[in-house]
Amino acid sequence: MIFLRPISDPSAAMRHSPMLRAICLTFDYVTENGPIGLTTTRALKRYFVEWAAKAFEWPFYTAKDLYALNKVLNECDFPPLALTHDLLLSTKLARHKNGALHLTRLGRKLRDDPSAMWALLAERFLFATDHSGYTRFGDRLIGNWDVFLNVINVEAQLGVSEDRLCHVLYGPSESHDGHDAIRVKAALFIHVLRPLCWMGLLEEVRSGTGLKQEEHYFKTGIWREAFKLDTDSQLALVTEH
């Protein structure tokens, strides 16, 4: 079983984790402006979505990126915000009441303790959230977190591509038909790589565009502090410049 260790430097967690930054900014918004209005379908109202798109500056989902695809922004048009909203409710840091999103007592308490908030969010988002609904076909997780983290721990020591991780975890792509290989890769991203990036444990670096786009993943400064893994003894030394 994987256990998350405390992060001693809250500024490092804030710097690396777009999820933690977004939730802290949301809490500050509510403190200054009051509860956030909800639509009849219990989505966050457009005025907050538009504010969040600019304030969060979420990697690959900046306001510029979002408005390039949408004339107006609803919660469903800003996927990180939709997942942030779900996570706030599942961790009981916020709740719906009288047509608005309110902070709970726990949320107000943890706003002053970012390290504890990060630990709660990471535990829930990584290990207790079913991400199947965010995949195109409802694909479930293939594998377990112990294997994923130990493999990534070694492979991402100097940076690793998504294709390389799929090869190590699931074998050569030639062993699957093209359709299956795409779905396996997408499921790995949605269930494992994206949550690790959004919690600040991995950094995603993209190069190229369209069908030639490639993604590489690097461990951040809080990875080693958060995890003690069986493969730690296998890590190659990283040359620092």
The model's pTM is: 0.93
Residues 99 and 139 occupy one common structural domain: no
Q: 93-116: b or e for each residue (b if 16 or more CB lie within 10 Å)? A: bbeeeeeebebbeebeebbeebbe
pLDDT at 207 over 50: yes
Confidence of residue 240 (pLDDT cuts 50, 70, 90): very low
Instruction: Note the pLDDT of residue 82.
Output: 97
Instruction: Note the pLDDT of residue 212.
Output: 77
Instruction: Give the containing element (helix H, strand E) for 42.
Output: none
Residues of the domain holding 189: 133-233
Section 43-53 average pLDDT: 98
Contact 45, 37 (CB under 8 A): yes
Number of domains the chain contains: 2
Domain boundary among 129, 161, 182: 129
Q: Which residues, at least 6 apart from 30, have a Cβ–Cβ distance to it below 8 Å?
A: 36, 101, 102, 103
Section 58-76 average pLDDT: 97
Residues 139 and 158 occupy one common structural domain: yes
pLDDT at 94 over 50: yes
Domain boundary among 106, 129, 152: 129
Question: Residue 230: beta bridge partners?
Answer: none
In a domain, 241, yes or no: no
Amino acid at 75: E
- The residue that leads in pLDDT, 138 or 200, is 200
In a domain, 226, yes or no: yes
User: Quick count: other Cβ atoms within 10 Å of Cβ 12?
Assistant: 18
Instruction: Note the pLDDT of residue 241.
Output: 36
Q: What is the pLDDT of residues 119-145, one digit of tens each?
A: 999 999 999 999 998 888 888 888 899
Instruction: Give the containing element (helix H, strand E) for 160.
Output: strand 160-161
